[in-house]
Structure 1
Amino acid sequence: MFWNLVIGLASFALNLILTPKPQDAKPASLSDFKAPTADEGREIPVAFGTNDFADPNVVWYGALGTDAIKGPRRYGFFGPRQTLGYKYYLGMHLGLCHGPADELQEIRVGDKVAWKGAFRGGRMGINKENLFGGQDREGGISGKLDVEMGTQDQGRNDYLVSKQGPDTPAYRGIVGIVLRGVYLGTSPYIKPWAFRIKRIFKRSDGSAQWYPQTAEVAAPIDTTKGNPGLDLGIHIGSSSNWDTYGDYILWANYNGGAIVWSIQTGKHITIPQEGAWEIGDRGHITGDMEIVLQQGGGPAGTSLKFYKPDTGTLVQSIEIPGSHGNYGFLMDDIEAEDAKWGMARTRGFSTDLNRWNLLKKEAGGAWSLAWSEAGTSERLNSISMGRNYAYCALSDDPSKIVRVAWPSFAENIVTPAGLTADIRSCHYSRDTDEVIIVCSNGDIRVYSADLSTLKRSAPGIVSGSSTSFLTSKRMKSGPGTIGLFINASGAVRIHQIGVSTLEILHTTIVASTNFVGKNDPSLGSGGVGFNEEHGGILVTGGPLRSLFWYFTGASSGDMNPAHIIRECLTDRTWGMGYNDADIDDASFRAAADIFYAEGFGLSLKWYRQEAIEDFVSRILAHVDAYLFVDRSTGKFRLKPIRKDYDINTIPVINEDVVTDWTEIERRQTAEAVNQVIVNYYNREKRKTGSHAVTNIAQAMQSTSGIVSTSREYPGINHRDLAIRVATRDVLSLGAGIISGRISCKRTVEKLNPGDPFRLVSDRHSLSGQVMRVVDQDFGDGRSNKIVMKFVQDVFNLGAAVLVDSSAEDVPDTPTAPVSPRLVWEMPYRELRQMIGDSDLAAMLSADPKAGLLQIAGGRPSGDALNAIIQVGGGSTYRDAGSLDFAPSAVLDAAISADATDVAVSGEIGLGNVSIGSLAVIFGETRTEVVRIDAIGSGTITIARGCLDTVPRSHTKGTAILFFDDFSESDFQKRTNGNNVSVRLLTVTSRDVLEEIEAPVDTVTFANRAVRPYRPANVKVNGSSAGPVDAISIDPIPVTWARRNRLTEATPIDWTAADQTPEVGQTTSVTLTDLSGTVLRTYSGITGTSQNVAKADFGAVEQGYIVVSAERDGYSSWQSRRLQIVLSTPGPSDILISNDTVSVSATSGSVVGKLSTVGGAAPITFEITT
């Protein structure tokens, strides 16, 4: 035996020496890279609203770096690793649009999401190394990049300077992305980068946008079938422990550290407690998205510690003056006067240790303590920081507010005038420099920043029993809006309210949504908070369950068309350059209010190849409005065409006024358009969308049937608005519309474009229809006539039957987890197939208990390409290659343990299955290996119980995975007792399954490869299935066929003849009762049969006979167990558990189960067999 092993190893080594050496891959050079570059003369666009940039200008790329990708060792388990390819790193500078921008919201590479959030400039990181399938395919994206927002004081980028030299410009006024040697994948062909940028609130000179309260129009969100949100689970602590801002959610829990979730991924990290006496609570997320916790306490002092939200890394620590305990803190921060300021109120063991702490952070610097002052002993429930004061609501006296002045400290307790109920929360509105107070009776009251003046109020704007309002610091739900959450006797609503008007702008009825956890009756009992950046709300319930819902589209808002037009007129960098004084502010504000109330926002780009006047005309066409110069003021006026008039008070033009009826036309049915197709940009799907609206009544009257026309509205970004505009247009183009041109006396000179009037003329059959002024010609001074073009006003037409004729958009299918999945310790035969006899012998010689992992999986969806294998455990996983999907199916009917012709359905890829290959049928507790002998239409023929498994019965719908030619391993040797976890990340053409969504399969190694194969074709008294009636048999004969793992290169089925076993292999026959208690074991059997004495079962009426194999102290992986009936049963005891009754009542070989039919007393039962 020893010399055979030595000779085998020597032969193996010789084979390795003679094997041709695999060639290493060669790295690409910079000249091999293909990247789009900026065309000479190509314009940088001006962006309005939230836009996708799929074709950025690549201004520069270079600084190529490489890392070799190493494969397996050249000589099996020995020798150096082969270089399979290279990971490529590249620097790059991309120009997007004119700035400054508000925020970057999304980055896509190769049409896959690499990052998503709300980033307002600076340096950020991406870690998506598996985005394109991992290093076994095309790699992914990871590294640092700089987001330059295009401000007027933008400095030169240090990375570009280091690569291009000191003459590198700062690119002020241009939004740019700088990749700082970012990992771009394993191919020299750079995948296209795309960015989503929002630019609404800043003008090109850096000044604030005009009339910011209505500048952003929130995009609608379908809460019935959109993102259901995140269920963050149940946490210990108090209701004041939460915070949410930007991309993160924080739960500060003094009983176990702080938990920080990423809204983008749903993943979380834990920041542990530090120091002694940690009995405080609450945490804070700063405007720079740093986690702030108060740590420590007692004589050793306490400090505010700042952490990175993605890693939990400590950034800095600020000691709070004095030695006092940690009873928690409140904090808020604000950006003002070219710096960032924070106010933290800390509590100590005694009231004299309560302190106000003003923090300051200079641009690019760290936080510092500006001052720390002793403060009131009152308990506070919230904090909101304004430009000159911080505001805190009192817990014990809810009629008062603590107002703390800064930067010079002063503390005052203020009772706001006119309160009608207790204060539930207070919030500083940065949009309006006002303080908003919400009262327990639903009143909302708005005060001046010093709380001295009540500016406006809305009594009972929201009400309901058991209402729950948020704490003040996270009340802003969008630009110029606040959010309120109401749970009135289980009727849960979320209101969005305009700060300037205190009107309810939008209400979400939670019961009508698909929100996760929406049926929790305690929703909001632990407080709520709004996340403006993601249009979301953090809702807590009892016992302190956390949910995050997306209820608005605030994160991808559109720009108010009035603001777009005004900016085009007044911008001095790229616009027409008019002064603000040239604008009729009242008309523009009125138009902005109309568009805002209608939810009519636009997002689009303007390139200078198009005249800016033509671009403005396109905006006017989108919103159906007129822009003209008022003859009396010389200012630009903006007039939306809406039903904004009283038909009884508008001017009437009749025969006395009209001097010449130049042209009167009525559109006939035959020439009328009865269907309008609107083409728009569907931002949700990132592609052009089309919707048709048809005037059914006119289509039925038309001899031409459907007469269609298309309209292009690229500034529209969502389906609902496209349908509304198509409805408007199909009415204006329909039959019967009157238009024309008339000459009038000077009495009509006060009319302006877009103004309505009534036209009366008997000879033209005009009876006072409402018309609109389209255009006017006031002549050349030699004639007093005013020539006026007009068209009939569609808002006063009769009702029409309109239908949306478009097909419903098919939603993108979410990336699904791999299913079914096979993750187990590899059987001996599979090891042999995978690594060969020589390597297997060497591995088991070194460690007989060694084994390898085997992984296979079925295709979860038609668009799934393959899967990334990740191996590890806990929070640490490593990529272990890619997995091609195995064919799969499900049982179309239940099968017994001896069935060989099997009906299947749901077949995927069965054309790739080889006859004679292996598959697994997934049992409830054990998996069975079968051999494929034939494949038909909806049927397969199988050999049962192959390798080291036994045949079992299986239910309908059980999965079958044809794994034999499609499995993988990470080829890491493991031994008995080792645990390993596996995740499979589905790869599609669009996405990679997020790690948090991938199921985890865990394997405990149990020396499977070295175990002998179980005996096969086991029979008791000639029967291969139980229960076996042995009432009149003694002794009971047991027979079997032996198997040999070493010689079974080709799998044989369960019923095959006896094989010569391994040296030292024997069989054991074990007798047990029904509970599994061992009664007797016959061991060391070298033959193929054993007679069992009935007396060995003792007094039991039923039991089991278990047949297994042993060798060198190892037992077979599985064993065959058959039930046996030994005597006629007497009366059985019935065991009742809850509402289920089970009894083993045997007559002959029939086993019955007694189960409930009804669940209410008196309970009745029926027997099913």
Structure 2
Amino acid sequence: MFWNFVIGLASFALNLILTPKPQDAKPASLSDFKAPTADEGREIPVAFGTNDFADPNVVWYGSLGTDAIKGPRRYGFFGPRQTLGYKYYLGMHMGLCHGPADEIQEIRVGDKVAWKGAFRGGRMGINKENLFGGQDREGGISGKLDVEMGAQDQGRNDYLVAKQGPDTPAYRGIVGIVLRGVYLGTSPYIKPWAFRIKRIFKRSDGSAQWYPQTAEVAAPIDTTKGNPGIDLGVHLNNGINWDTYGDYILWQHHTGDPIVWSIPTGKHITIAREGTWEFGPRGHITGDNEIVVRQGSGGTGTSLKFYKPDTGALLQSVDIPGTATNHGFLMDDIEVDGTRWGVARSVGPSAAASRWNLLKKEPGGPWSLQWSEADTGESVAAISMGRKYVYGVTATSSMNIVRVAWPSLALTIVAPTGLTANVLNCHYFDDTDEVIVVCANGDIRVYSADLSTLKRSAIGIANGSAWGMASKRMKSGPGTIGLLTNVSGAVKIRQVGVSTLEIVHTINVADTNFVGKDVPQLGHEAGFNEEHGSVLLANGLFRSLFWFVTGASSGDMNPAHIIRECLTDKTWGMGYNDADIDDASFRTAADIFYAEGFGLSLKWYREEEIREFVSRILAHVDAYLFVDRSTGKFRLKPIRKDYDINTIPVINEDVVTDWTEIERRQTAEAVNQVIVNYYNREKRKTGSHAVTNIAQAMQSTSGIVSTSRGYPGINHRDLAIRVATRDVLSLGAGIISGRISCKRTVEKLNPGDPFRLVSDRHKLSGEVMRVVDQDFGDGRSNKIVMKFVQDVFNLGAAVLVDSSAEDVPDTPTAPVSPRLIWEMPYRELRQMIGDTDLAAMLSADPKAGLLQIAGGRPSDNALNAIVQVGGGSVYSDAGSLDFAPSAALDAAISADATDVAVSGEIGLGNVSIGSLAVIFGEARTEVVRIDAIGSGTLTIARGCLDTVPRSHTKGTAILFFDDFSESDFEKRTNGDSVSVRLLTVTSRDVLDTVDAPVDTVTFASRAIRPYRPANVKVNGSSSGPVDAISLDPIPVTWARRNRLTESAPLDWTAADQAPETGQTTTVTLTDLSGTVVRTYSGITGTSQAVAKADFGGVEQGYIVVSAERDGYSSLRSYRIPVILATPSPSDILIDNSTVAVTTPIGTLVGKLSVVGGTAPFTFEIIG
């Protein structure tokens, strides 16, 4: 027996030796990494406002580190674990723009949000290890990075010095990002990093911005749109049982299993609990995204269970001392020098029965208990863990804070100086190594880490509550905390800067689209999730909610400030002194732009002359910059309605010495639609909106005459619409412009100044003009030559700001619907290109065809559509499309119905009798001929051209495409595939390409194929199912069609036509699955007798009729179901007292008749 065991073991070992060894993955070296580097001569841009940097200059990368990803052991219980891959850590330095910047608001990696908030410089952390799918896929991002804001006194970065040497510069004046050995994923391909930076309030020398009160123009933050949040439902108790961190939300209570929500998906899982839980065990999410709960009951010992948040799999269990009844626990954790530490206060039935437990987790290792200390008897309601201390809010509503030093767990009761009310929340703020205390009266106090020094304070900012989550989850982003306030039922969420204790952002919840915003929130706790810029509202009495409330204010910069900085900056600007600026005119302009909400955000590169850049800014805002001849200073003048027509100068024949040029723009020359291209910051891409002068478009013989204007400094839709409105007026018909020579009496006029022009012989009766340019002569002539243009820039500030002042509401731009995008039928080709060109095309390539495009008007404000043809990410414009009339079936119709009810008619007055339309069937589209149009009714001829009649449901769309279709006229052949998208154009907008449906057509030689036979019948029936049980042979008849001679579309039931030369009919027999059992081909007549035996014994099947010529089959065929034998019992389904028999036309339901008293029963269908 023993030797058998030895022999078996030896055999097993030999098998292990001989088994091929799984190969370990090899780590990539630094040379394997692909990252962009600084291009020689590449300029660092100057940023104005809030900008996205999708192409940072990677100055350096290196210091590669790896961690092996281990799989299962190679030989079951024996051998080492296989290396599946590696986690890569890298140092990197990226330069973004000239500084100093105000704040960084967003970091994206691989076009995924890695961090969002408002950070004003220093060291920050990102913990998104699953951003790219976790270590099973491409990993994620995790680690510390330094945000260098580019101050003039910026010191050398210690990490770069350690890696590059003591000669490393400080990079003063440059905004930079330093990755301190950050985990970048499991691939040597470095995913692109992108950043959103705001620079408004600091000049390049570090001094404060001129006239700061108007420097930032608030960009609209539309909280009525976007993600409304997650409704978490009703769960017992408040924040004491909740937590949120990273991508997850946790609820845990002794009444149920832990529930974990995924924030990105909104879905949740339930973790099956183990053992007995008593009284509200609570829960915690660690900085490594582990779910922690306390399990077990008094007398048997308790443990902390760690679970994976996405699967609920148990990771480990840590036993904690003490046998007191389990009243849950309080926990927080922090990473210090790469090691994660956690403190868990296991709560008993009294404070004296509670314990402080210190846990430690080395990188890649498990948690372990390091120390456990009995509580001294002070009741604690919430904790927050710092680098040296744990801070506890007492449950007795006092001004004391429990301070627990670690690792010794020595407890001290501290009464911080300067408190004016009881402590509600106490939060350790890692960014500044400070403690933030929120008091019951709304005051905020900031203390040193040991609570000995009051560093700053603010009065009456917030109210809140003292439960287990709020203290540790107060941080809303780097440099900021979040606060929930509720005053007289007005719920607001505020973001407060820790360095200044100033409110940087406020959201009035009543004005949002947040889910459950009307749920009472008075007195309930808010915990903030830094990673998602969001807040968890724990509400035990009502519903708990999760809202996305990121407080980063993406403000734009006042154009007056941009222009002034370009003129005066000594580093990158023109270098003028402040004394060279007419301060009054710049302040006036700044006030105008600020009041209008006219802010810009854009970047300037040295490749562009700065004077050209200033000219672009002036074009954005419609203003003039000039040197005042009397003062020698730069003046800025916005063109607005800022004058009294009765007081401005009048220039007449007595003043004008030469009428050099007078022009009136004619209607044929005018532009009546302007499409503005701008940067849509919300969607992080170029957007476009159109504004149309409808009156002039109707007068123009050319219809819509459009032009595009680029304004990259505009970052939101409302401003783009206002600027497009301004431009479409300036380019319209009737605008007067010209050039005149005048006496010196007009020398006080400056560019942009208004005046009235009077001349009977030029039919000028005092129209208001604006000075465009002036020439004061060469000294030999005293004449002043002046260019002018009629003043149409008088929208006024109120109109510019309030886009809702129109009587007609702004209807959202909708996709074109319905849409007909297919290979053009033969008859349509004849109409579109003519018989000669059609014959030539098919002679060169018999399988050739053209694309046909038509679409219905999706909304009243839709003007037309831009046609784009292509595929994948590459599309090209293929002209515009006028909308076709459309309607919808108001009732279901059968395949032979000719009088149909319709509703939702659009443009039916433009439909001609005898023209064609399509009905969009579920399976295939049917072409019909319009024979009559009544009030809500149509008379139609069915199954025209190469289509067949179908039954259609109520609501099916009808598109009257005849005379309203277009093509790109690109010849394509059989098998070619092309995609089409239609961009709806309204007077205000153009449909975004991402919102436009894509229709794809695969060409199938449609034009060369013969038309299918029509008026097909089996034993005189055109629909079926035909009862052929007692019928043999089965008669089939049809009428032939000829595509070449059918110039006028024939009805399906029209008489037989002489076919094309060589055209024959094919009759195919199939079973219900479509499997062919017999084919009759080459039939030259209009009938066929089908022998029942040719069906091969099937009980039910189809008779399919089609046409063929020269090897081409008709595009469509027509089939009729036939019943050949009584259905077998296998086709019968019984449901309680009913029986259902499946037939080709549906399910026949009858009553069940029980004959015998015991099973099996017999039955028959009797109704």
TM-score by length of 1: 0.50
**Superposition RMSD on alpha carbons, in Å?**
6.1
Q: 2:391·2:427 contact (CA, 8 Å) conserved in 1?
A: no
**Structure 2: how far apart are the matches of 1:25 and 1:533?**
32
Q: 1:334 to 1:14 in 2, by over 3 A?
A: closer
Aligned counterpart for 2:415 among listed residues 320, 324, 329:
320
Residue pair 1:695, 1:801 contacting (<8 A) in 2 also: no
1:157 is matched with 157
Between the aligned partners of 1:667 and 1:6, the Cα distance in structure 2 is 105
Report SS of the residue matched to 1:369.
Answer: coil
Q: Deviations over 1:871-902 (max 9, x none)?
A: xxxxxxxxxxxxxxxxxxxxxxxxxxxxxxxx
Partner secondary structure for residue 66 of structure 1: strand
Distance 2:213 2:235 in 1: 37
Look up the match of 1:634. Answer: 632
Distance 1:216 1:313 in 2: 50
CA contact (8 A) 1:538 1:547 kept: yes
Q: Using a 3 Å threshold, how does the CA distance of structure 1 residues 256 and 791 change in structure 2: closer, same or farther?
A: farther
Are the aligned partners of 2:505 and 2:553 in contact in 1 as well (CA < 8 Å)? no
3-state DSSP of counterpart to 2:741: strand
- CA change 1:533–1:782 in 2 (3 A) is farther
Residues 287-366 of structure 1: matches in 2 within 5 Å? 294-295=393-394, 302-303=401-402, 319-320=414-415, 327-328=422-423, 366=449
**Aligned residue for 1:584?**
582
Shift of 1:8: 9.4
- For the pair 1:182 / 2:265, whether they are aligned, the reply is no
Q: Conserved in 1, the CA contact under 8 Å of 2:118 and 2:551?
A: no
Query: What residue is the counterpart of 2:658 in the other structure?
Result: 660
Of the structure 1 ranges 789-798 and 291-300, higher mean CA displacement relative to structure 2 is found in 291-300
SS of aligned partner of 1:794:
coil
Mark the runs of 5 or more structure 2 residues left unpaired by the alignment: 254-278, 292-308, 311-329, 333-343, 346-355, 357-374, 465-478, 480-484, 800-805, 817-871, 873-921, 924-993, 995-1133, 1138-1151, 1156-1167
SS of residue paired to 1:60: strand
Find the counterpart in structure 2 of residue 22 from structure 1. Answer: 22
Q: Residue by residue, what CA displacement relative to the aligned partner does 1:1077-1112 show, whole Å, maximum 9, x if unpaired?
A: xxxxxxxxxxxxxxxxxxxxxxxxxxxxxxxxxxxx
- Which of 731, 734, 756 is the matching residue for 1:733? 731
Letter in 1 for 2:82: Q
Aligned match of 2:597: 599
**2:514 pairs with 1:515:** yes
**Which AA in structure 1 matches 2:157?**
N
Q: Tell me, yes or no, if structure 1 residue 718 matches structure 2 residue 716.
A: yes
**Structure 1 Cα separation of the partners of residues 751 and 627 of structure 2:** 10
Q: CA deviation at 1:160?
A: 0.9
- Structure 1 residues 797, 216: closer, same or farther in 2, change over 3 A? closer
Q: 1:785 to 1:776 in 2, by over 3 A?
A: same
TM alignment of 1:755-904, pairs within 5 A: 755-795=753-793
Structure 1 pair 242–93 and aligned structure 2 pair: CA distance change class (3 A): same
- The answer as to 2:122 corresponding to 1:119 is no
Q: CA deviation at 1:594?
A: 2.3
Q: Does 1:225 align with 2:320?
A: no
CA distance in 2, matches of 1:356, 1:689: 44
SS in 2 for 1:162: helix
Q: How does 1:559-578 map to 2 (within 5 A)?
A: 559-578=557-576
Mapped to 2, the partners of 1:88 and 1:530 lie a distance apart of 30
Higher mean Cα deviation, 92-101 or 705-714?
705-714
Once the two structures are superposed, what CA deviation does each residue of 1:530-586 show, in whole Å capped at 9, x if it has no partner? 999999999898958775756898522222212211211222221122222332333
Measure how far apart 1:77 and its partner are: 5.2
Distance in 2 (CA, whole Å) between partners of 1:241 and 1:584 is 62
Worse overlay, 230-239 or 75-84: 230-239
Deviation at 1:714, TM superposition (A): 1.2
Shift of 1:515: 1.5
The CA deviation at 1:162 is 0.9
Per-residue CA deviation, residues 1117-1147 of structure 1 (Å, 9 max, x unaligned), is: xxxxx9999xxxxxxxxxxxxxxxxxxxx99
Shift of 1:166: 0.8
How many angstroms apart in 2 are the aligned matches of 1:809 and 1:190? 37
**1:77 & 1:24 partners in 2: Cα distance?**
18
SS at match of 2:728: helix
Amino acid at match of 2:578: D
Matching residue of 1:417:
none
Give the secondary-structure state (helix, strand or coil) at the position aligned to 1:202: coil
TM superposition shift of 1:176: 0.8
| 1:655 Cα deviation after fit | 2.2
**What are the equivalent positions in structure 2 for 1:50-449 lying under 5 Å apart?**
50-76=50-76, 78-229=78-229, 271=332, 294-295=393-394, 302-303=401-402, 319-320=414-415, 327-328=422-423, 366=449, 369-370=452-453, 385=457
Give the letter for the 2:619 counterpart.
A
**Superposition deviation, residue 479 in structure 1:** 13
Report how far residue 52 of structure 1 moved.
Answer: 1.3
Amino acid corresponding to residue 38 of structure 1 in structure 2: A
Q: String of CA shifts for 1:987-1010, please: whole Å, max 9, x gaps.
A: xxx9xxxxxxxxxxxxxxxxxxxx
State the shift of 1:181 in Å.
Answer: 1.5
Q: Report if aligned partners of 1:244, 1:529 keep a CA contact under 8 Å in 2.
A: yes
CA distance in 2, matches of 1:658, 1:265: 83
Partner of 1:1090: none
Superposition deviation, residue 281 in structure 1? 8.1
For the 8 Å contact 1:535–1:553, the answer to whether it is kept is yes
Query: 2:618 is aligned with what amino acid?
Result: L
SS at match of 2:554: strand
Q: Is the 8 A contact 1:250 1:283 kept in 2?
A: no
Q: Once the 2 structures are TM-superposed, how far is the Cα of residue 226 of structure 1 from its aligned partner?
A: 0.8
Partners in 2 of 1:479 and 1:358 — Cα distance? 9
State the identity as a percent.
73
Q: 1:59 to 1:545 in 2, by over 3 A?
A: same
Shift of 1:516: 1.1
1:86 to partner: Cα distance: 2.4
CA contact (8 A) 1:524 1:539 kept: no
CA contact (8 A) 2:755 2:768 kept: yes
Amino acid at match of 1:651: P
Structure 1 position 752, deviation (Å): 2.3
Equivalent residue of 2:561, what SS? helix
| Equivalence for 2:39 | 39
Native 8 Å contact 1:47 1:97 kept in 2: yes
The AA in structure 2 aligned to 1:768 is: G
**Equivalent of 1:678 in 673, 676, 679:** 676
- Which residue identity lines up with residue 558 of structure 1 in the other structure? D
Query: 691-700 or 315-324, which moves further after superposition?
Result: 315-324
Give the Cα–Cα distance (whole angstroms) in 2 for the partners of residues 193 and 612 of structure 1: 28
Q: Is this contact kept in 2: 1:587–1:637, CA < 8 A?
A: yes
Does the residue aligned with 1:590 lie in a helix, a strand or coil? Answer: helix
Q: Is the 8 A contact 1:357 1:369 kept in 2?
A: no
List gaps (5 residues or longer) in structure 1: 348-353, 373-383, 396-429, 431-437, 441-465, 486-493, 495-507, 811-862, 864-905, 908-989, 991-1121, 1126-1145, 1150-1169
Task: State the one-letter code of the partner of 2:143.
Answer: G
Contact residue 244 and residue 474 of structure 1 kept, 8 A:
no
The answer on whether the counterparts of 1:741 and 1:790 sit within 8 Å (CA) in structure 2 is yes
Residues of 2 paired with 1:698 and 1:319: CA distance? Answer: 77
Contact 1:33-1:190 within 8 A present in 2 as well? yes
Residues in 2 aligned to 1:206 and 1:196: alpha-carbon distance in whole angstroms: 20
2-structure distance, mates of 1:535, 1:46: 28
* Per-residue deviation, 1:619: 0.9
Q: Distance in 1 between matches of 2:225 and 2:418?
A: 54
Q: Does 1:614 align with 2:612?
A: yes
Query: How much has 1:170 moved relative to structure 2?
Result: 0.8
